[in-house]
């Protein structure tokens, strides 16, 4: 990501502004909405990055999409990015904001991969266990992958724990392959 440093600087500045006005949680929700909207709509991403589309047209599209749905700080960020000719960085800034916000709030992202969606009770148990193990709160993201057959794969930061049935079967297969069982005749 070639504009990663600049995106990080913008994200930190926006977080500082949001913190000063006690709206950092609302702006975090806005940034999640912006990142998800751009990720889901490739035409929007192409339009924001296009040097052919005028900056005022880009702002009009962003205002039409997000006006009334986002905080005034977020709307102001759109105009700041337009003035600085950095609208193309909007998605990067939104993603960096989430990282900086989580760091500020001592929260981490935990990804749980399961074959089926987690129930609310299981999700709460997993979050409680993460707090017990790491001492930090976590936002839980549930990825559904039927290929793991059952069990779960938990990734918190750089640590991964694989308790999936597919992993167990692979380990069992390796054991059989590595054992040099010679039958007696």
What pLDDT, in 10s, does the model give residues 65-77?
Answer: 888 788 888 888 8
Which of 44, 74, 103 terminates a domain? The answer is 103
For residue 140, being part of any structural domain is answered with: yes
> For 102-148, what is each residue's pLDDT tens digit?
778 777 778 888 888 888 888 888 888 888 877 777 878 888 888 88
Of 103, 133, 163, which residue sits at a domain end?
Answer: 103
CATH of the domain at 70: 1.10.520
Instruction: Please check whether residues 113 and 62 belong to one and the same domain.
Output: no
Specify the number of domains making up the chain: 2
* Domain ranges, residue 36: 4-103
Domain's final residue, options 73, 103, 133: 103
For residues 114 and 75, state if they share a domain. no
Would you tell me how many other CB atoms lie within 10 Å of the CB of residue 56?
9
Name the pTM for this structure. 0.63
């Amino acid at each position: 990501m070639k504009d990663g440093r600049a995106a990080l600087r913008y994200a930190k500045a926006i977080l500082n502004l949001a913190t000063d006005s006690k709206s950092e949680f609302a702006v975090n929700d806005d940034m999640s909405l912006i990142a998800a909207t751009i990720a889901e709509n490739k035409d929007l991403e192409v339009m924001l990055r296009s040097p052919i589309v005028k900056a005022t047209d880009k702002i009009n599209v962003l205002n039409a999409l997000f006006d009334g749905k986002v905080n005034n700080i977020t709307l102001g960020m759109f105009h700041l990015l337009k003035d600085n000719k950095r609208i193309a960085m909007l998605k990067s800034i939104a993603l960096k904001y989430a990282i900086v916000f989580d760091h500020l709030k001592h929260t981490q992202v935990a990804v749980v991969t399961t074959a089926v969606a987690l129930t609310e009770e299981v999700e709460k148990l997993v979050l409680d266990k993460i707090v017990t193990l790491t001492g930090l709160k976590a936002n839980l993201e549930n990825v559904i992958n039927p290929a793991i057959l059952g069990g779960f794969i938990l990734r918190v930061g750089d640590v991964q724990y694989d308790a999936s049935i597919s992993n167990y079967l692979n380990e069992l297969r390796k054991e059989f392959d590595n054992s040099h069982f010679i039958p007696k005749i």
